[in-house]
Structure 1
Amino acid sequence: MQKNIILICLLLLVFKSSYCQVDRKDRYNVGFKYFKATDNSRNYIIGHDTVNRPMLIHFWYPSQNNPELKCMSFKDYIDLIAIREDFEREQQDIDKISNNFVNAYLGFSKQQFGIDTSITTEEVLNSPVKAILNAKPIDNKFSLIIYAPSNSKSAVQNHIMCEYLASNGYCVVSVGSAGHESLKRYDQRKATVAQVRDMEFSVKYISDSLKLDFSNIGLFGFSTGGMATIIYQMQNPEVKAVASLDGSHEYGLYSVLNKIEKFTIDKADTPYLMIANKYKDFSIFPYYSSISTEDKHLYQMTAIGHNGFISYWQQFAMCGKNSKANNTTESYTVLCKSLTSFFNDKLKSGNKDSKEFEIQNNKLIQKNGTDYNIAAQLLNRIIQDGVDNSMSWLKSNKVLFKGKANMINVVGKMYLGNQNDIAIKIFTANTEIHPASWEAFYNLARAYKESKQINAAKSEITKARNINNENEDIQKLYDEIINAE
């Protein structure tokens, strides 16, 4: 029995040590540092207290090889989430917060992604990551990449991706997403501006002490973090490439992006990569479709939704003996490789203006070659000229929109729930241009229901049923409307 225990311990040590070392496909070991800083120019509210804005800066980098150094545990990363607003938090409180955090995410992953159900929270927290804390950096100038996390989240949400970039010869800096005066992002416009300032603060902070190539910067953001990368690029000419992981600016928050003072579409002249979630007819990708640069690339994942763009699921899967290879964890690997390939092409290759970049289509990622330009024109007109003028333009150019009922529906759904009056006008115009489209009447009924106009909703859903009386979604909405009478 004792021999078995010793053997297991040795195997664990070998696994932990080997995971820290450079993989055969990696070029570098990975180091990690974090810096506790405050932005004294901005106030920040924590509970009932107003303090200077806390800035917990995360930094990944290529490091020198030192076999005697041990890699970090996943808990070392997760603990940083607990202290991002309170650098002096007690260790017992940190442990509790970290345990609860992983427990919640682990439970979700077991239900959704086929992660080994026997994995414990403790095993996840103690599992190794690739980075080595405070490892000695390689004495060389590497291009800097800035990561903008999603809604109020820490950069740890994509630690594997940041490590992967560092192992391929990049330095990655990030600071957690927050609102303009607290952790919560109550106002997305103000929060985006605040996140841009956070990015600029973190770059300034490390530029004072680290040897980096600040003339050749790459950006990537996830979800709402994508909006911050767009504004940052427009203000900083040293940015040479921008990548978006299912960025919110390609969905309903595009109109919010347009309201930010620093937003100028003519300045969007940098190579751009957008990787979207698996859902079809979910977006017209208005930012991608509106920018003038020809060096732009649109791809869609085929197996993951929005929450598949984070690293936790892959970290959990590495802990389990019975975790089966699945599309979620494999998709994340594809994301890491695709992002790195894009930055290699734009930041490292000799021909920075090359439009030859391409991700090879496979079962998990596909190039989206759909032309959304006419739908993007419609949305931009609504934002700039108002919905009434835009609907007049739409009807006078209905020949251009024939057969594009789904695209008009997507434009309308960008306002559904928040500005139902605009959504109703868009969907109404769509029913006039496409009277045989049940989806047009279905979405108009949804908009009327959302705005509590039940009689109008009943009328439109009845028209949808008359066109397609076998559709389950139509019947479900019909029942909801009848029950709301």
Structure 2
Amino acid sequence: MRMLYLFILLLFQAYGSFGQTSLKEINLDYGKYKVGFLHYIRSDSTRNYSRIFDYSNEKIARPISVSIWYPSEQLTGDESPMKVLDYFQVLKEEEEWEYLPDEQLLNWFYYSNTSANQNHLKEQTKAYPEIEFADGEFPVIVYAPSYQASSIENFALCEYLASQGYFVISSSSRGTDTRWFSDNNAKEMETQARDVAFLIKEVGNFSIANYHKIAIMGFSFGGLSNAIAQNRNEKVKAIVSLDGTERYQYALLKESPFFDIEKMNVPYLHMAQKDIPEKVLKEDNIKAELNTKFEFYDNITKGKGYRFKFNNLTHSYFSTLGMLFAERDIRQDKSDSEIMESYKWTAAYTLNFLNAYLKNEDLALRFLENNPTDNGVRNGLITYSTNRPQSPEFTFMDFNDLASGQQYQNLSQLYDSTVKEHPSFKIPEGSLNTLGLQLVFNPDTAEQGINIFLFAVALYPNSANLFDSLAEGYLFNGIEEKAIENFKKSLDLNSQNQNAIDRLKQLKD
């Protein structure tokens, strides 16, 4: 009996003819490196898990299936690269059907057993199993698959990025308790975010991986978990979303106690599917607002955002497996050649985004900012927009960080340059007073505290309280003459300042 799995969160009913795509016809512009592939299983002992088809009450540590694509300079000679069928061995393992005969693959899992799909299994890929790592360190991409999908679902894109000098790591999308997701998608979203965090930690085991340059990339449901993962981990420097579900299920994302849109402060690239035709919206009971609404993107204020709509791609074809094996929907899908053309451009935009923000390449940044037609994209293939992040509010804490960095010297010059750059910036009098007292009563920072108060009374020359505090600072540090002078200034401004009256009487006695 054929097993039916839910492959993506947004299910669009498929009809009609089968694809005639191929890896060769996509014609990706691979980089200078050979591509190595490594696969193994780790266990997360902090979480329990059950193998659903073992029909056992036994609990095991959560298995983390790890697939890695990496740059290599090894000469491969006559050695043949992997075939697509080899990737399906990983899929079998992740589906917990390790011993399923290969001839049953297309009957058993997601795809129809057609001659075209049988031919896809025989195609050669660009990856070689377990060849040597290239010398040096390479930026990292952590990939989160779609709903319950395999770590290898986007193997062509992962190979492409590895050939361009990236270390790519992925794990399967598993349910919290078993292979299957529960009805609680909020819980499953959190689980996948934890799996992403596990992979980020795993990256640290590889000297080839630059642990300080990490981006996360996800397709469909993986976009939700990646938003949470970025909020939790400051090591994440950029996000690539392949029609991520954060666009469609923002309300679900906001259920997470670990998500805050205000923390989305890294560059973000979202590549979206084409508009869904009215016929499909009506027949499949899909809300029309999915074509236009994007609350997540609209609410990003801290990070740079890029939004590209691929007018020839429906949702499934942002993954390699979907593009190669999925049935086409005659109501909306474009031709196979148009789908492959668009997939190639998704790879190109992903690469340039990563090159811009992980490798700091100006040419790549210009590519992102260009009109797509200026990059050679056929007219009408892609529509795009970018956001301009709001300048973050400059606070007293920001000012104090700068001031402490220069040992609280030249504070007036620092303030003038700050106000020139941030005209609305104001320093609260009370904050200066508190900071000055904190510093002046510490023997190691007493001089810095005096500097704060000298700056403060220059900024607030009518503040009796600040002159009083400055006098207290001088007195505490044994400079009585200056203390008397400033207590008198405080009294001139406020004749009812009892502390200054008492202090002056004490100093005369």
| Secondary structure class of the residue paired with 1:155 | coil
Residue 357 (1) aligns with residue 357 (2): no
1:95-106 matches, cutoff 5 A: 95-100=102-107, 105-106=111-112
- 1:63-88 per-position Cα deviation (integer Å, ceiling 9, x unaligned): 1232233200111101111112549x
Identify which of 103, 123, 127 aligns with 1:127. Answer: 123
Distance 1:259 1:352 in 2: 39
Structure (1/2) with the larger helix percentage: 1
Q: Which runs of 5+ in 2 are unaligned?
A: 1-22, 277-288, 327-334, 389-509
Instruction: Quote the Cα distance in structure 2 between the aligned partners of 1:355 and 1:238.
Output: 25
Equivalent-residue separation in structure 2 for 1:128 and 1:94 (angstroms): 20
Q: Secondary structure at the match of 2:102?
A: helix
Partner of 1:110: none
Among 192, 204, 208, the residue aligned to 2:205: 208
CA distance in 2, matches of 1:370, 1:264: 19
Of the three residues 59, 81, 92, the one matched with 1:71 is 81
- 3-state DSSP class of the match of 1:248? coil
Contact preservation (8 Å) 1:303, 1:327 = yes
C-alpha distance 341-356 of structure 1, shift in aligned 2 (>3 A): closer
Contact 2:213 2:237 in 1 (8 A): yes
Q: How large is the RMSD of aligned CA atoms in angstroms?
A: 3.1
Equivalent in 29, 37, 42 of residue 37 of structure 1: 42
What are the Cα deviations for residues 246-277 of structure 1, in whole angstroms up to 9, with x where unaligned? 111111x2111111011011110000111111
Out of 277, 280, 293, the position equivalent to 2:302 is: 293
Aligned to 2:316: 307
Alignment partner of 1:338 is 2:343: no
Q: Whole-Å Cα distance in 1 between the matches of residues 265 and 117 of structure 2?
A: 47
Quote the Cα distance in structure 2 between the aligned partners of 1:27 and 1:142. 14
Aligned amino acid, residue 301 of structure 2: S
| CA separation of 1:94 and 1:59: change in aligned 2, threshold 3 A | farther
Match of 1:195 in 2: 192
1:264 lines up with 2:260 in the alignment: yes
- Equivalent of 1:181, from 173, 177, 181? 177
Are the equivalent residues in 2 in contact too, given 1:73–1:125 (CA < 8 A)? yes
Q: CA deviation at 1:181?
A: 1.3
Q: Which moved more, 1:204-213 or 1:193-202?
A: 204-213
Alignment pair present for 1:142 and 2:138: yes
Q: What is the aligned length?
A: 334
Selected match of 1:27 from 16, 32, 38: 32
Higher RCO structure (Cα 8 Å, ≥6 apart):
2
Query: 1:98 is matched by which residue type in structure 2?
Result: L
Q: Distance in 2 between matches of 1:338 and 1:101?
A: 34
Contact 1:148 1:226 in 2 (8 A): yes
Q: Contact 1:300–1:365 at 8 Å: present in 2 too?
A: yes
Q: Residue 290 and residue 98 in structure 1: after superposition, are their counterparts in 2 closer, same or farther (change >3 A)?
A: same
Kept in 2: contact 1:59–1:172 (CA 8 A): yes
**Cα deviations across residues 40-64 of structure 1 (Å, max 9, x unaligned)?**
2211122233322111100000112
CA distance in 1, matches of 2:89, 2:250: 34
Q: How does 1:79-118 map to 2 (within 5 A)?
A: 79-84=89-94, 86=96, 89-90=98-99, 93-100=100-107, 105-106=111-112
Deviations 1:221-255 (A, max 9, x none): 1111001111111111111110111111111x211
TM-score of the aligned structures, taking structure 2 as reference length: 0.60
Aligned equivalents of 2:72, 2:215: Cα separation in 1: 20
Contact 1:294-1:355 within 8 A present in 2 as well: no
In structure 2, do the counterparts of structure 1 residues 33 and 356 end up closer, same or farther at CA, with 3 Å as the change threshold?
closer
Say if 1:300 and 1:368, in contact at 8 Å, map to a contact too: no
CA contact (8 A) 2:84 2:124 kept: yes
SS in 1 for 2:153: helix
Q: Is the 8 A contact 2:218 2:240 kept in 1?
A: yes
Q: Which residue of 1 aligns with 2:358?
A: 347
Alpha-carbon separation, structure 2, partners of 1:352 and 1:270: 20
Check conservation: 1:38, 1:54, Cα contact below 8 A: yes
- Aligned twin of 1:231: 228
Deviation at 1:353, TM superposition (A): 13
Contact 2:41–2:66 (Cα < 8 Å) also in 1 = yes
Q: Deviations over 1:395-449 (max 9, x none)?
A: xxxxxxxxxxxxxxxxxxxxxxxxxxxxxxxxxxxxxxxxxxxxxxxxxxxxxxx
Q: Check the 8 A contact 2:306/2:387 in 1, yes or no.
A: no
Asked whether the equivalents of residues 51 and 96 of structure 2 are also in contact (C-alpha less than 8 Å), the reply is no
Once the two structures are TM-superposed, the CA of residue 25 in structure 1 deviates from its matched residue by 4.8
What CA deviation, in whole Å up to 9, does each residue of 1:381-402 have, x standing for no partner? xxxxxxxxxxxxxxxxxxxxxx
Aligned to 1:367: 384
Are residues 296 and 71 of structure 1, via their aligned partners in 2, closer, same or farther at CA, if it must alter by over 3 Å?
A: same
Identical pairs, percent: 29
In the aligned structure 2, how far is the partner of 1:294 from the partner of 1:219? Answer: 15
After superposition, the Cα gap between the structure-2 partners of 1:119 and 1:256, relative to the gap in structure 1 and judged at 3 Å, is: closer
- Highest CA radius of gyration, 1 or 2? 2
- Whether the 8 Å contact between 1:55 and 1:84 is mirrored in structure 2 is no
Tell me if the contact between 1:331 and 1:364 (Cα under 8 Å) persists in the aligned partners: yes
Q: Which amino acid aligns with 2:192?
A: Q
- Are 1:301 and 1:365, in contact at CA under 8 Å, matched by a contact in 2? yes
Instruction: Classify the secondary structure of the residue corresponding to 1:37.
Output: strand
In structure 2, C-alpha distance between the alignment counterparts of 1:343 and 1:334, rounded to whole Å: 14
Give the SS at the match of 2:369.
coil
Distance 2:86 2:115 in 1: 22
